[in-house]
A and B are shown apart, each in its own frame.
Chain A
């Protein structure tokens, strides 16, 4: 059974009970959502006509893609425009994009329907790993989220493509009626409908008003791949020039009349609140300081310049309530996880017969807590105006942030105006959504409190130190692996235990043909806030699984790349990317004369499959990653250069974590504070990254996160070849 292309509707309040309604096309989707009237009301300006949910055609024949996703450099807007331009048959010069407002009418249910579909009909590749998607659908349907590498593949490929194809049909039908000709005698080209026999034509802009009143077709056919003019081409991203010219506006660049600035000092212990401030009067005497107050998780100073606020907040002396985390150290967390893994565990995936006691290859892996370290620290500008609460911020979920601000202010969501801005990095930090109950928007909550308390427009900005120490962290995870080999050297048994679960994933099973697999996990929480970190559960489980298969290969005295191939179906995406990456890298098992060796890893995530080879060596300076090759199967690559950029960037993001990334806990707080002790890879040590996109018939997959998971295991696997030492914990340096 291949991927089922059905679209599932999620039925309102009964979602928790699992009601799924299968629907046939974009028309039914629109009608069921009952959003079209809201949309029409919202887009009557400029005399343009809203044709359907995601598209707008103006009288002067511009086609505006209303993009529910926010930008953090991933190129979503351009990708969506490419998909629409092809399916609607427009010229590139007609295409425009517009950010959707933070409104329920634009909540991107298609994203979650997409995840839901993965859940219901997982790819063959994943076997019986059913729960690889979101599960709290009731919450999610009210969100407007950019995350899960979902924008192009779900919003674009599932929804906008259908919308565009349907729109083209409606335009053709409108023209047929105007011209009183058979629709089959018409064709579309460059944003016009042409009647070739008579030479008459109408632009889409001229037809839009009539087309909008027609019923939505349920059977609009898609173009074949050989008819695409934009999809599959490396088109320049529309967001790039403003970023180069520094005219792009980030949240931190907000300017509101008479704006004040707030800085935050954290309580220093996760969960511990401030009980009193000892020296508020003294702080208020500092130049420009107008307010000192306790906020959730810390204290705030308001001043007329951000530097003055920051200088003052560092001088605040406060008393902190005692908390169970007061004595929490990393070692305690690790021991707690080890104890948990020795206790009662929940069942993940099991296949074959459980073979107890026969495992003779054992390994324990550990990955640390990680901060996101977006270059733009968390910030929000908040003020009251004409009875409305205004918020300027960059987030991956504007609607979720708007709801959270309203809740904090005790106001209705309709009384909150959310001004969405460019994000200086997201990587999951700005998702504004939690499955753990931790608060990912604590900075926004603080900003709302401060503005209301001060009764002024206030821009609250976290220092780098506060940002590093107040994150929702990639979880620290301990994983224990056991395996045994059959007489032919192939794996006979694979057992794993790991701590925690993210997104209901319940740990990851290997993608390899192994007769006996048992995956279990400790379903227990973390003592500090955790959240989504680029590639989510795959960043840790990718390291575990791809390190352990490498250990099995070495135990079998096999070439680790050939060993993996021997455990994969020959025509699988996994085999295809492994073969490609072997060819690109000139794969070699064994160190060369300079002590350089290659390591490989393969991870399927977000609907795509990536194999990476890292060439690395141990040098006098420590670990050096010299070159990285990536072979990617993401089905259809809508914008290949953007795919390349995302995968290259993901490699460097993952390399920072593999080499240096860790957030240590001491006395209930994070030790690391800034880029000197939470190091990022710089240009000089960044390896050249070569990316190849393999041609495939795979369904379209995600892109933004898929380059992260294979890097750490491929690097560690390479180092094991150089010196025979297996590195089972990160970071490596």
Chain B
């Protein structure tokens, strides 16, 4: 059995140690906000936080997350209490198809936790998730808005 702490809740899962965390989250715990995009850690649609650090869960074995705090998009904010990043994402009308945006927001939240006032260069260096709809102009603007709000 693999013990995972996801969004503060303990789960005991009968899965292979090498099963990527993504599939444990999506299909064993039914947390489907985290998306599958490529399976090789290239696109970032599956980004979650492990002990606060963004990781690409499609290529991160579930066993490596044992004993750590896993946070998914479901824990970041809610309709009643959205995260500053989520408020900024709505204000700037960032998503188009929206499929990459949970991973994108998880990367942005981690960026701001680490660096509350990122420059354009900081954003370029960290925001390596891919968006096929090309929402990059607004992602950049929304991160700056959220940074101001969080100060």
Contact = CB atoms under 8 A, between A and B. Distances in A.
Interface of A: 71-74, 236-237, 239-248, 250, 252-253, 255, 261, 287, 305-307, 310, 373-377, 422-427, 461, 463-465, 641-642, 645-646, 648-653, 655, 674-676, 680-684, 686, 688-689
Contact of A246 (B74, B93, B97, B140): B74
A683 B38 contact: no
6 contacts: A73-B98, A246-B102, A375-B35, A422-B97, A423-B97, A683-B123
B11 interface: no
- Dominant SS among interface residues on chain B: loop
Contacts of A243: 95, 97-98, 101
Interface centre among B27, B105, B140 (most CB of A within 10 A): B27
A243 B38 CA distance: 20
A584 B42 CA distance: 36
Contacts of A374: 97, 99, 132
Contacts of B127: 682-684
B12 interface: no
Nearest to A246: B33
B133 A244 contact: no
A653 B86 contact: no
A349 to B, nearest CB: 33
B130 A240 contact: no
A375 B39 contact: no
A375 B105 contact: no
Contacts of A239: 95, 98
A255 B136 CA distance: 31
B70 to A, nearest CB: 15
- Closest A-B pairs by Cβ, 5 of them: A652-B134, A73-B96, A243-B98, A424-B99, A246-B33
B10 interface: no
B67 interface: no
Interface in B106-128: 123-125, 127-128
Nearest to B124: A684
Contacts of B82: 244-245
Interface string B2-39: 00000000000001100110010011101011011111
A425 B94 contact: no
Contact of B38 (A426, A461, A674, A686): A674
Interface of B: 15-16, 19-20, 23, 26-28, 30, 32-33, 35-40, 42-43, 45, 73-74, 77-79, 82, 86, 89-90, 93-102, 105, 123-125, 127-140
Given A246-B74, A375-B43, A684-B127, A73 B97 contact: yes
B132 A648 contact: no
Interface centre among B40, B77, B79, B98 (most CB of A within 10 A): B98
A99 to B, nearest CB: 16
Contact of A245 (B38, B86, B131, B132): B86
Given A305-B19, A674-B40, A74 B96 contact: yes
Nearest to A467: B38
Contacts of B134: 648-653, 655, 681, 686
Given A305-B19, A683-B127, A684-B128, A261 B27 contact: yes
B43 A675 contact: yes
A195 B3 CA distance: 69
B40 A240 contact: no
Contacts of B35: 250, 252, 375-376, 424
B36 A377 contact: yes
B23 A424 contact: no
Contacts of B36: 252, 306, 377, 461
A680 B43 CA distance: 9
A419 B24 CA distance: 25
Contacts of A686: 134, 136-137
A675 B136 contact: no
Contact of B39 (A237, A248, A376, A463): A463
Contacts of B95: 73, 239-240, 243-244
Given A240-B90, A645-B93, A653 B38 contact: no
B135 to A, nearest CB: 6
B135 A306 contact: no
Given A310-B39, A375-B45, A650-B134, 11 more contacts: A71-B97, A240-B89, A244-B101, A377-B37, A424-B99, A425-B97, A425-B133, A464-B39, A648-B134, A649-B135, A684-B128
B93 A689 contact: no
B132 A653 contact: yes
A683 B101 CA distance: 13
B93 A237 contact: yes
A18 B131 CA distance: 43
A206 to B, nearest CB: 32
Nearest to A423: B97
A244 B90 contact: yes
A397 B102 CA distance: 26
B21 to A, nearest CB: 10
A246 B82 CA distance: 11
B98 to A, nearest CB: 3
B61 to A, nearest CB: 11
Contacts of A245: 77-79, 82, 86
A242 B82 CA distance: 11
B105 to A, nearest CB: 7
Nearest to A252: B36
Contacts of A242: 98
A247 B79 CA distance: 10
Given A425-B132, A680-B130, A375 B100 contact: yes
B98 A307 contact: no
A74 B93 CA distance: 12
Interface centre among B37, B125, B129 (most CB of A within 10 A): B37
B132 A680 contact: yes
A230 to B, nearest CB: 16
B23 A307 contact: yes
B101 A645 contact: no
B118 to A, nearest CB: 12
A271 B10 CA distance: 48
A255 B32 CA distance: 10
A29 to B, nearest CB: 32
A424 to B, nearest CB: 3
Contacts of A689: 137
B16 A240 contact: no
Nearest to B97: A73
A425 B111 CA distance: 26
Interface centre among A261, A374, A424 (most CB of B within 10 A): A424
A239 to B, nearest CB: 7
B123 A422 contact: no
A631 to B, nearest CB: 17
Nearest to B23: A307
A619 to B, nearest CB: 15
B93 A305 contact: no
Nearest to A234: B93
Contacts of A650: 134
Contacts of B45: 375
B93 A236 contact: yes
Contacts of A252: 32, 35-36
A683 B123 CA distance: 8
